[in-house]
Amino acid sequence: MNDFLRNRKGEPVFVIGLQAHNSSTGTVMIDRTMDAIEKYHGNTLEAPIYWYAVEPEEDSYDLSLVKGLIDKARSRGLYLIILWFGCNKNGHPNYAPEYIKLHPEIYRIAVGPDGAPVPSISPHCMETLERDKKAFLKMMEFIRDYDEEGTVLAVQIENEFGYAHTDRDYSALAEADYEKGVPEELLGVELDDMGELTHDGSWIGEFGRHANEAFSAYYHARYVEALASAGKEILPMTFFCNIFIGETGIEVPGFSYNGGGGVGRVIDIWKKGAPHLDLLCPDIYLSGRRVYERICSRYDREDNALMIPESATGGDANAMNLMLAVGKYHAVGVAGFGAESALDDAGNLLPEARKVALTMHAIAGLAPLLIKYRGTGRVHGVIQDEFTAEEYIRLERYHVLAKFFTGTGVRGGFTSNMNFRAPENRYLADERSRGILIQTGDDEFYLAGVNIGFEFRRRTDANDPKAYAHLSSRQSTQLNFLSVEEGHYDPEGNWVIDFIRNGDETNFTQYSAFGNVVRVRLNPNIGMEV
């Protein structure tokens, strides 16, 4: 299974971050971004570097913006993911230098099916590619030489790459590539619902109704591959592309999303076209659970770990869905976009932002375990669907009921760290339940979440003649525990106990209310005789 992002020492890092607004780099707004990251319990700043700033004039380079961003992140103890805003940002060449924009006869603009130019630079144009790559490599050389501490964790190449308002480039330049037919490495790649095929080596013969999208996806991937492969020669690190998702509207390229981007339909083509690109990462702002899970399942692959570099910074839906992305679809990182907008004028989290911050708090507290147990089947993400009061999890040794506090009257007890009646915690009464349970041993569990409790009952042996008596005994429940601890992991990965629960704090459910981490050690010796 594809792995986590790794720091310069080769250690896995679970990314919990926020992304700055597009124009914040180099301004005081970056400080506000990092203030927000702290309140979200994050460890990573995502921020753009602009091609026009790196190369203000042709062959004249200025890396001061890169230096300043690295220094800012390092000063706050954050990892940095640099977003390379090169020839294409959401389909548009906004961040290309002026000399690129002023010479479309050299740096070609794509052409739509009506023969009119579209606001996208063509990836078929080698002149643009070479200029983009040269500036990108100047940045990578600077990172290699200046960032010996390894503040920069990864680099995103372009931003939601693809054509705006067309499914492919219909210019003479692109048409020449189209007539070459399908490259050998794509023969045999299958896309859903292609129709009847002739398999004659042409784009329509191999991909049917998806011929134009397949063609565009391959050449966009080859463009990115040129940057990624050359970048890795300078500094081996994670390179990824963020994706304008395809699971929207009627799912037609150029109409519903950027044509040629690495959407779910053409991931296999992108993987063939850009083998040095580590990850394709969906930007998910959709709130519906069904479509959210469909997107996650497409990008959670053996050759592509799920990472969500952009999502909403607030709202109930994103607060719930991020927990699913991590707990069910093995996400290796999550981040929200527009960090500065999550704070009010006094620098406090807005009510809507607080919802996602609570989820990220829970995820951050479990990060060492999420790294260790990813893909083992021991991580369980649970969210409260509408009208539900609980969810059942069947484990080998235990029946587990996730109990949802919101609107159910479930009792959770009180601890030194949590009191529902305290004014500062009253907002919790309206927070829909969500959480993650991780089994770290036969009888050991860690849990974290929001307004959620877990009840454990020992499963009986299949051949036990007194199974019902044993199952219904108090000794088979979570009350037969060895210890229940609230705590956290220190920077070295050691578990630190902050508070030991017992008595009233453990009589009902083993719970987490505001993202705090709880360790539960159950008694392996149930010791029952009936």
User: What's the pLDDT band for 528 if we cut at 50, 70, 90?
Assistant: low
pLDDT at 152 over 90: yes
Q: Domain containing 309 — which CATH number?
A: 3.20.20.80
Beta-carbon-side half-sphere exposure of residue 149 (alpha carbons within 13 Å): 11
Is 517 within a domain? yes
Output the pLDDT for position 270.
Answer: 98
Among 372, 402, 421, identify where a domain stops: 372
Output the pLDDT for position 414.
Answer: 53
365 and 397 inside one domain: no
CA–CA distance, 280 with 257 (Å, rounded to integer): 16
Output the pLDDT for position 416.
Answer: 46
User: What's the pLDDT band for 407 if we cut at 50, 70, 90?
Assistant: low
Distance of CA 214 to the CA centre of its chain: 25
CA–CA distance, 73 with 45 (Å, rounded to integer): 7
CA–CA distance, 77 with 10 (Å, rounded to integer): 18
Determine the residue type at 90.
N
319 and 454 inside one domain: no
User: What are the pLDDT digits (tens) for 217-235?
Assistant: 999 999 999 999 999 999 9
Is 132 within a domain? yes
User: What's the pLDDT band for 419 if we cut at 50, 70, 90?
Assistant: low
CA–CA distance, 435 with 306 (Å, rounded to integer): 19
Is 65 within a domain? yes
User: What are the pLDDT digits (tens) for 359-388?
Assistant: 999 999 999 999 999 999 999 999 999 889
406 and 368 inside one domain: no
113 and 189 inside one domain: yes
Among 372, 393, 428, identify where a domain stops: 372
pLDDT at 38 over 80: yes
Mean pLDDT, residues 316-338 taken together: 97
453 with 477: CB under 8 angstroms? no
292 and 392 inside one domain: no
User: What are the pLDDT digits (tens) for 168-222?
Assistant: 999 999 999 999 999 999 999 999 999 999 999 999 999 999 999 999 999 999 9
pLDDT at 424 over 80: no
286 and 414 inside one domain: no
CA–CA distance, 527 with 530 (Å, rounded to integer): 10
pLDDT at 266 over 60: yes
Is 190 within a domain? yes
Output the pLDDT for position 336.
Answer: 98
Residue 438: Cβ-neighbour burial (10 angstroms; 0-12, 13-18, 19+): buried
Beta-carbon contacts of residue 390 (< 8 Å; ≥ 6 apart): 401, 402, 403, 404, 408
* Cα angle for residues 512, 477, 402 (degrees, 5° grid): 35
User: What are the pLDDT digits (tens) for 58-100?
Assistant: 999 999 999 999 999 999 999 999 999 999 999 999 999 999 9
262 and 389 inside one domain: no
Is 528 within a domain? no
Output the pLDDT for position 368.
Answer: 98
The pLDDT > 90 percentage for the chain reads 87
Is 476 within a domain? yes
Mean pLDDT, residues 148-154 taken together: 97
The pLDDT > 70 percentage for the chain reads 95
Of residues 330, 367, 375, 406, the one with CA closest to residue 488: 367
Output the pLDDT for position 412.
Answer: 59
Is 527 within a domain? no
Output the pLDDT for position 474.
Answer: 82
pLDDT at 111 over 60: yes
User: What's the pLDDT band for 115 if we cut at 50, 70, 90?
Assistant: very high
Q: Domain containing 453 — which CATH number?
A: 2.60.220.20
Mean pLDDT, residues 505-509 taken together: 83
Range of the domain at 428: 383-522
Among 325, 345, 372, identify where a domain stops: 372
162 and 66 inside one domain: yes
134 and 195 inside one domain: yes
User: What are the pLDDT digits (tens) for 456-502?
Assistant: 999 988 888 888 988 888 888 888 899 999 999 999 999 999 999 99
Average pLDDT, the chain: 94
121 and 241 inside one domain: yes
Output the pLDDT for position 476.
Answer: 87
350 and 408 inside one domain: no
Secondary structure of 449-498 as H, E, C letters? EEEEEEEEEECCCCCCCCHHHHHHCHHHECCCEEEEEEEEECCCCCEEEE
As beta bridge partners, residue 496 has 488
Output the pLDDT for position 508.
Answer: 77
Query: Quick check: pTM over 0.85?
Result: yes
Output the pLDDT for position 45.
Answer: 98
Is 208 within a domain? yes
pLDDT at 326 over 60: yes
pLDDT at 1 over 50: no
CA–CA distance, 274 with 240 (Å, rounded to integer): 10
12 and 87 inside one domain: yes
Mean pLDDT, residues 147-162 taken together: 97
As beta bridge partners, residue 477 has 457
Output the pLDDT for position 506.
Answer: 87
Domain count, the chain: 2
